[in-house]
Amino acid sequence: MKELNIGIVGLGVVGSSVARILKDNADLISARAGCKINIKKAIVRNLDKVKGKFDFQISTNVDEILDDSSIDIIVELAGGIDEPFKIAKKALQNNKAFVTANKAMLAYHRYELQKIAGDLPIGFEASVGGGIPIIKGLRDGLGANHILSIYGIINGTCNYILTKMKDENTNFKEALKEAQDLGYAESDPTFDIDGFDTAHKLLILASIAYGIDAKPEDILIEGIRKITQEDIVFAKEFDYNLKLLGIAKKDGNEVELRVQPTFLPKDKIIGKVDGVNNAISVLGDNAKESLFYGAGAGGDATASAVISDIIEIARTKSSPMLGFKTPIENNLQLKPKERSKSAFYLRILAQDKPGVLAQISSILGEHDISIQTLLQKQSNIQNYSTLLLSTYICEESKIKNAIDRISKLEITKDMPVMIRIEE
């Protein structure tokens, strides 16, 4: 049986799992790959942390694997953007295949890498959805479809926090603290709770589905930091589930990309996905809706996706990184953020006295925004109440202009909170 050598950059949680699974399931993987897969050498920052834990060579010099002609695949699992991009470029320039789980690097450099690679394979299944095979499913399994929409719960930290707030009536800070204690959230959770992790993954999926070359700063990104129990009460009252979603929607010759907390009707399957699990709903013009569900993070789940790429490369399959060489949608453009449309939920802290709702309704009406539902809750601030209302579908720019005016009224306190509703 022929042999294939790999060099790994990074032996953290995922890298260690890759090494263990390649050893424990060696016979199974060899049978599926058609060759024996060896880890020839791994690269780490600190040798002391991995001393005596592995039975292959380990170094701190990445050039030792990039310049080694006997190594066929470079597997990058270190994280970051600039340094991994340099490693990827040199690996491809040295005629090596490249596998990565690095969604941040791909969010900025995926098209550059595809151009550099030519016919060399690049695997990135582990960059979105952990162990869920969404990349191959979208790129290959749904290759005959125009993709009409993608709705993704693709950050387990946020999904855990929102589930905790819903099921146990905890506030955001308490739910975040528990997520950190359980290892679901980092000590600095900004990347997750402010939506950037979800945005990186959404951009990768949108590239495969639409060929859109957008960067994180080009799209709307909102996290869950401002979510309160009042928002959860509204969701329960009007039969919604609240989720942080990455959304891609095709509208004519435009694609709308946004990351946002979203109210979903309770009967929608994706809205029922709780805890740290991930789920991605993909709507194709022929296959209709497909739901990809499973463990969206964790060493073993992510390593499973990494090894699936290694097996695919070992089978000598070569295809464009994003699944196409020529444009798949002619004249398709990114829709400007301010022109996106949806229904909206508003949480407004206002004085508890006659005429307040009339003033707020008047401003909304002047911006062609109609109120659909209204719930008033007593505030813990004396002489104030909280208005929870939903609107009919309107344009993003109009609701933001209306909110800005409402926030400046003498009868209101603090900036109103806005959450989108997807029916």
Give residue 1's pLDDT.
Answer: 63
- Confidence class of residue 317 from pLDDT cuts 50, 70 and 90? low
Decide which of 179 and 331 is more confident: 179
pLDDT in tens, 249-282: 999 999 999 999 999 999 999 999 999 999 999 9
- Which residues 6+ apart lie within 8 Å of 64 measured at CB? 41, 43
Identify residue 406 by its one-letter amino acid code. Answer: I
The predicted model gives 119-131 an average pLDDT of 95
Do the beta carbons of residue 163 and residue 275 sit within 8 Å?
A: yes
Q: State the average pLDDT over residues 223-251.
A: 96
Evaluate whether 292 touches 134 at the Cβ level (below 8 Å): yes
Least confident of 51-60, 77-86, 142-151, 330-339: 330-339
Q: What is the mean pLDDT of the chain?
A: 94
* Residue 302, pLDDT above cutoff 70: yes
Given 40, 103, 201, 335, which residue is catalytic?
A: 201
pTM score above 0.85: yes
Query: Residue 68 pLDDT more than 90?
Result: yes
User: Which residues lie below 8 Å from residue 118, measured CB to CB, with a gap of 6+?
Assistant: none
CB neighbour list of residue 288: distance below 8 Å, 6 or more residues apart:
none
103 labelled catalytic: no
Per-residue model confidence (pLDDT) at position 331 = 81
Q: In this structure, how many other beta carbons lie within 10 angstroms of the beta carbon of residue 325?
A: 10
Q: pLDDT tens for residues 75-88? A: 999 989 999 999 99
What are the pLDDT digits (tens) for 326-375?
777 778 899 999 999 999 999 999 999 999 999 999 999 999 999 999 99
Mean pLDDT value across residues 133-156? 96
389/262 Cα distance (integer angstroms): 14
Amino acid making up residue 167: D
pLDDT of 318 above 80: no
Q: What is the 3-state secondary structure (H, E, C) of the chain?
A: CCEEEEEEECCCHHHHHHHHHHHHCHHHHHHHHCCEEEEEEEECCCHHHHCCCCCCEEECCCHHHHCCCCCCEEEECCCCCHHHHHHHHHHHHCCCEEEECCHHHHHHHHHHHHHHHCCCCEECHHHCCCCCCHHHHHHHHCCCCCEEEEEEECCHHHHHHHHHHHHHCCCHHHHHHHHHHCCCCCCCCHHHHCCHHHHHHHHHHHHHHHCCCCCHHHCEECCCCCCCHHHHHHHHHCCEEEEEEEEEEEECCEEEEEEEEEEEECCCHHHHCCCCEEEEEEEECCCEEEEEEEECCCHHHHHHHHHHHHHHHHCCCCCCCCCCCCCCCCCCEECCHHHCEEEEEEEEEEECCCCHHHHHHHHHHHCCCCEEEEEEEECCCCCEEEEEEEECCEEHHHHHHHHHHHHCCCCEEEEEEEEEECC
Mean pLDDT along residues 411-422: 95
